[in-house]
Structure 1
């Protein structure tokens, strides 16, 4: 079953606060009967802000927020008293969150750092009080600006997982098994296609207390970029990975052809994915002897660094980690 707690897409109405109105006021004191205009400015309307948090890895907490509404700014007062700004609403989101305009599809920005804050929907400006409009020819202006209206817009947030390594392969290629062996992650594992229906992240310990992050992406099938199988829903998670580890099982009928299909699907989805560093792991290598490995090596792409591994027997797992670490830091 899919993990119901992994939510990587939300859509909601974002409404910022209206700015407060400027005040029309005249200074009136016991000994200053004609003190002139002293109306203060209105406060700014509240902003809707996104803030990056490493404590989150899903958009689940925003799933049921259909409307996010910020407070308006307070009106200005006499004695040049400015109104208070409307309270901002800060929505914490996981790193890798992309904010889009729901109507146009335009990407506004991405949140990629802990504590990073970006204004999603800006509050309306407060109006100027009448004190701002006094001139040599107009000593007692009796007008002020109204506050600027807030904005109302539909927003889409999409999550692209931030990981050093993305596992790319057909369903049942052994991606989840590898992640369960090299990290503390516990993805669902079974001998049928599409066991993994949501991405899984694992922190992989390495030598000298170092580590890197690996993402198990649900399996790709031929035609995924055109919407077949799980379609493009999870292909976007690969965009944030610095290394792509292609995984093809040793019992595949044609390793070279399978690799080419995977390459074509990534190219169809986003040609820039092919600019990333690529590695190849031949999984389930415990099914082969040394002679078969040597034969298979002849069929592999010449310019692609590869390793034969078995998650079941731990064969060459350390060599795989070395290869990944070298690629990440090259």
Structure 2
């Protein structure tokens, strides 16, 4: 790629975009992002991008539809301005939970969003910890899928927690939890649950020994907090000395932070893929930055280097 490297940001997470740019010793490209009086999203790129290798940083977090539209319009504007390559950097991929049909007459929303991004003109996607890796297959363009588990595990390892055990809050996350426990040198426990309705969970049973141990619940995202708090309560009932939680994406929808603040969780660790509310600190939520990882990935993509070293 001979073109200049440029970075632009939507309004979803400007702080993360600025951190990434700082790691790259760059500044964010100039763009006007606003709203017309009729409520439609307004985008105008002020910098010359002709022949450039452009990265647009925009997680599709709340309000999801608005931030998704910003991303699509920015990609379209850059493509029409003759950028050589446009990469959509989506730290958090919205609609990821709707990756399959669970009943008749339902959309597969994650696939539709992938189609929209491709149609807008993106040449590739850079994202982190998709709810399910199968979403990569929804794209007909290259997808670079970063993982935050190593950063989260290293932080937990640095706390020197006594007698740790990593807990998967559902059977679908066992692989994630097992990789995490190998990195921190801990045991493994699994909670089996069922979800009768969206955003609700019913805990059924647990496999593994947690009595007298420091339990660390590992998941890819925290949405309503219901699953997390129920899991923490079960662990305490089974004799866990302390309970921590780790997740890549801290969505904290509705009153999730209030629920977590009232729980027995010692600390909840998330990354800054999604900007956090002021109430997060009161809920004992700690945030670590993924900016260095995204900056390294962006530079490697720009120079056509392998990203495999980032997945170790």
* Same fold, TM-score > 0.5, yes or no: no
Q: Which has the higher relative contact order, 1 or 2, with Cα contacts under 8 A spaced 6 or more apart?
A: 1
Question: Which of these two proteins has the greater Rg computed from alpha carbons?
Answer: 1
More helix by share: 2
Question: TM-score if structure 2 supplies the norm length?
Answer: 0.28
